[in-house]
Chain A
Amino acid sequence: MADEALFLLLHNELVSCVYKSAEQGEGENGRCVTKLESMGFRVGQGLIERFTKDAARFKDELDIMKFVCKDFWTSVFKKQIDNLRTNHQGIYVLQDNKFRLITQMSAGKQYLDQAPKYLAFTCGLIRGGLSNLGIKSIVTAEVSTMPACKFQVMIQKQ
């Protein structure tokens, strides 16, 4: 139990640290999200390398996405993605009905404007993981009611 709390606390501190340093005049607000995202990207790269070490070779893109939804998500957030949808043309929507990083904050519309900064790191995490597996993508997140959250993954074909 304790290690779960540690990750949450560290993540919260990370977000507030990045925003605080921005307030002191180092770059504007838009940069913060980018910064958090790129941190997540590097972490995702490392994590996926470790998690896929003992996995069999992946069959295709969908196989990789399933891995991300199940194993990867379980390792990081202690639960699986609740719903994975795809249009089979490179767009995947990962829905988490109780996203761990924002469950502590609110259960409704309150603080909705604060949500993006707590999702940037995770977007990077997904993007980094996928890029290490050879998939270039754009990941965006959207929240309509906390703590449910949707991640949209757009695969970029070369």
Chain B
Amino acid sequence: YLQCVSDLANYPLYIRSIPTENQLKFHYTVHTSLDVVDEKIAAMGKALVDQRELYLGLLYPTEDYKVYGYVTNSKVKFVMVVDSSNTALRDNEIRSMFRKLHNSYTDVMCNPFYNPGDTIQSRPLCV
């Protein structure tokens, strides 16, 4: 499972994966999915005015993984990749995980020692 925080210009602020092997492949998946997030937001602006939630849901499933997305109001993107064989993770759990991630990110932003746009090095963010 892997999570990633990325800013407006699609530059990754924070990226972390468990387990640590095969990292490159995960990173690749995440970077690809950022474009899907962009597409989703663009489509959302036009069509679904009433459906304006921060959580974007399942972005796309691949054979082995499911990719979930979340965008804050400040256009910061969160992406999570999980094993698709893991059926214990339902939509609600993913949603609350993003929620926690968002809370931690907010705390980081309010930290006066953090410069917005820098790579995040923070222990509490490791959910």
B103 at the interface (CB under 8 A from A): yes
**B53 contacts A56, C-beta separation under 8 Å:** yes
Is there a chain B Cβ closer than 8 Å to A140's Cβ? Answer: no
Q: Does B106 contact A (CB under 8 A)?
A: yes
Contact A52 B75 (CB under 8 A): no
Assembled-state Cα–Cα distance A48/B106 (Å): 9
Distance between Cα atoms of A129 and B53 in the complex (Å): 20
Q: Which of B8, B44, B75, B106 contacts A50 (CB 8 A)?
A: B106
B72 at the interface (CB under 8 A from A): yes
Interface residues on A, range: 10 to 19
- Chain B residues, CB < 8 A from A56: 52-54
How far, in whole Å, are A55 and B72 apart by their CA atoms in the complex?
9
Q: Does A85 count as interface, using CB distance less than 8 angstroms?
A: no
Please tell me if the beta carbons of A132 and B44 are within 8 angstroms of each other in the complex: no
A52 near B8 with CB under 8 A, answer: no
Query: What is the 8 Å Cβ interface bit string for chain A, positions 34-68, against chain B (1 contact, 0 not)?
Result: 00000000100111111011011111000000000
Q: Do B74 and A59 touch (CB < 8 A)?
A: no
When C-beta atoms are compared, the residue in chain B nearest to A63 turns out to be B52
User: In the complex, A56 Cα to B46 Cα: how many Å?
Assistant: 16
Q: Contacts A57-B44, A59-B52, A134-B8: A52 and B74 contacting too (C-beta < 8 A)?
A: yes
- Considering the chains assembled together, what is the distance between the CA atoms of A49 and B53 in angstroms? 16
Residues of A within 8 A of B103 (CB): 53
Q: Could you tell me if B74 and A50 are in contact, using CB atoms closer than 8 angstroms?
A: no
Q: Smallest CB–CB gap between B99 and chain A, Å? A: 9
List A residues at the B interface (Cβ < 8 Å): 42, 45-50, 52-53, 55-59, 132-134
**Chain B residues packing against A (C-beta within 8 Å):** 8, 44-45, 49, 52-54, 71-75, 102-103, 105-106, 109-110, 112, 116
- 8 shortest A-B CB distances, which residue pairs? A52-B73, A57-B52, A49-B109, A46-B110, A56-B52, A132-B74, A134-B75, A49-B106
**Given contact pairs A42-B112, A42-B116, a sample of 20 additional A-B residue pairs in the complex whose CB atoms are under 8 Å apart:** A45-B109, A46-B109, A46-B110, A48-B73, A49-B74, A49-B106, A49-B110, A50-B106, A50-B109, A50-B110, A53-B102, A53-B103, A53-B106, A56-B53, A56-B54, A57-B44, A58-B52, A59-B45, A59-B52, A132-B116
